[in-house]
Structure 1
Amino acid sequence: MGSNTNDFINQWLLKYQLSVFKYERIASVINTFVAVVILIYNYGFYIAEEELKVLLSILDVIFFVYCISYLLRIIFSSHRFKFFKSTFVEGTFLLYIAFNGLFHYFFGVRLIEELFKSFWLDNPFIQYVNYLFFCLFILISIEITKSSSSISEYKIKPSTTFIFSFILLILLGTFALMLPACSIGIDESMSFLDALFTSVSASCVTGLAVVDTGQFFTFKGKLVILFLAQLGGIGIVSFATFFATFLSKGVSLKHKTIIQDVLSSEDLSSATGLLRKVIFLTLLIEALGSILIFFSWDSNLVFNNLFQKIFYSIFHSISAFCNAGFSLFPDSLNTYIVSDETTEFSTPGMVVDLRHMYGLHLVIGFIIIFGSFGFTTIEEIFSPQKIADRFRNPWKKYSIGTSISLYSTVILILVGMIAVFFLEIDELREDRTLFESLVASFFQSVTTRTAGFNSMDFGSMKPSTIIVMIFLMFIGAAPGSTGGGIKSSTFYVLLLSSIGIIRGQERIVVRKRTISDDNIKRSYSIFMFAAIYNLMAIFVLTITELDNPNIDILPLVFEQISAFGTAGLSMGITGELSSFGKVVIILSMYIGRVGTLTLALALSSTVQTNKFQYPEAHVMVG
Structure 2
Amino acid sequence: MSPAGFSLRGRELSPGTALIFYYLAAIAVGTLLLALPAASRGAPLSLIDALFTATSAQCVTGLIVVDTGSDLSLFGQLVVLTLIQIGGLGIMTFSVLLFVYLGKRVSLRGRWIINETLMHAPVASLGDLLRPIIIFVLIVEGVGAALLALVFVPDLGWAQGIYYALFHSVSAFCNAGFALFPDSLEGYAAHPLANLTFMMLITLGGLGFLVVRDLLSRIRAAEGRRRRLSLHTRLVLWVSAVLTLGGALLIFFLELDNSLRERTAAEGLWIALFQSVTARTAGFNTLDLNLFHPATLMLMLFLMLIGASPGSCGGGLKTTSLAVLFATLLSRLRGSPHTSIFHRTIPEEQVTKALSLILLALLLLGTSIFFLLAVQMPTLAPNAQGEGFLLYTFEAVSAFATVGLSLGATGQLGDAGKLIIIVLMFIGRVGLLTVAFAIVRRRRQKPLRYGEENIMIG
TM-score normalised according to structure 2 size: 0.88
Residue in 1 that maps onto 2:185? 333
Equivalent pair of 1:429/1:437 in contact (CA under 8 Å): yes
% same residue? 38
Alignment of 1:226-265 (within 5 A): 226-235=81-90, 238=93, 257=101
Partner amino acid, structure 2, of 1:366: M
Structure 1's 604 and 539: CA in aligned 2 closer, same or farther, altered over 3 A? farther
Q: Would you say the 8 A contact 2:6–2:12 is kept in 1?
A: no
Distance 1:406 1:228 in 2: 29
| Map of 1:493 onto structure 2 | 324
Q: Determine the structure 2 residue equivalent to 1:310.
A: 162
The farther-off stretch of 360-369 and 391-400 is 391-400
**Unmatched tracts of structure 1, length 5 or more:** 1-147, 243-252, 335-352
How many matched pairs?
435
Measure how far apart 1:237 and its partner are: 9.5
Distance 1:255 1:531 in 2: 25
Q: Does 1:170 align with 2:27?
A: yes
Q: CA deviation at 1:256?
A: 5.8
1:616 counterpart = 2:452: yes
Q: Which residue in 2 is equivalent to 1:462?
A: 293
Task: Report the TM-score, using the length of structure 1 for normalisation.
Answer: 0.65
Aligned-pair CA distance for 1:308 = 1.4
Q: Which has the larger radius of gyration?
A: 1
Structure 2 residue 219 is the aligned partner of structure 1 residue 387: yes
Instruction: Please give the alpha-carbon distance, in whole angstroms, between the structure 1 residues aligned to 2:168 and 2:7.
Output: 35
Q: Find the counterpart in structure 2 of residue 192 from structure 1.
A: 47
- Aligned-pair CA distance for 1:381: 2.0
**SS in structure 1 opposite 2:340?**
strand
Unaligned runs of 5+ in 2: 106-112
Question: Which amino acid in the other structure matches residue 387 of structure 1?
Answer: I
2:345 and 2:414 map into 1 onto residues whose CA distance is 48
Residues 245-324 of structure 1 correspond to what in structure 2 (within 5 A)?
257=101, 266=114, 270=123, 272-297=127-152, 299=154, 301=155, 303=156, 305-324=157-176
Q: Provide the rounded CA distance (Å) in 2 between the counterparts of 1:453 and 1:254.
A: 29
**Per-residue deviation at 1:591?**
0.8
Query: 1:365 and 2:199 equivalent?
Result: yes
Instruction: Report the counterpart of residue 574 of structure 1 in structure 2.
Output: 410
Name the SS for the 1:506 alignment partner. coil
- Tell me the CA shift for residue 583 of structure 1: 0.8
Take 2:11 and 2:453, find their aligned partners in 1: how far apart are those partners?
42
Aligned equivalents of 2:340, 2:348: Cα separation in 1: 11
The corresponding residue for 1:540 is 371
Relative distance call for 1:611 and 1:493 in structure 2 (3 A) is closer
Output the CA distance in 1 between the equivalents of 2:208 and 2:328. Answer: 23
The SS at the match of 1:297 is helix
Q: CA deviation at 1:355?
A: 3.3
* SS of equivalent residue, structure 1 residue 546: helix
Deviations for 1:333-352, whole angstroms, at most 9, x for unmatched residues?
12xxxxxxxxxxxxxxxxxx
Separation in 2 of the partners of 1:450 and 1:254? 21
Whole-Å separation in 1 of the counterparts to 2:339 and 2:103: 28
1:179 equivalenced with 2:179 (yes/no): no
Among 388, 405, 413, the alignment partner of 2:236 is 405
The residue identity in structure 2 corresponding to 1:306 is: W
Give, in whole Å, the separation in 1 of the partners of 2:435 and 2:339.
Answer: 27
Pairs within 5 Å for 1:61-100 = none
Structure 2: distance between partners of 1:467 and 1:612: 42
SS of the aligned residue for 1:547 comes to helix
Question: Superposition RMSD on alpha carbons, in Å?
Answer: 2.9
What's the CA shift for 1:192? Answer: 0.7
Whether 2:277 is the aligned partner of 1:446: answer yes
SS class of match (2:345): strand
Instruction: Indicate yes or no: 2:57 matched with 1:202.
Output: yes
Question: Deviation of residue 506 (structure 1)?
Answer: 2.0
**Distance in 2 (alpha carbons) for counterparts of 1:505 and 1:360:** 47
> Equivalent residue of 1:150, what SS?
strand
- Tell me the equivalent position of 1:150: 7
In structure 2, the residue corresponding to 1:616 is in which secondary structure? coil
User: Does the C-alpha gap of structure 1 residues 525 and 152 become closer, same or farther in structure 2, counting only changes over 3 Å?
Assistant: farther
Residue 617 to residue 152, structure 1, CA distance change in 2 (3 Å): farther
User: Partners of 1:260 and 1:443 in 2: how far apart?
Assistant: 40
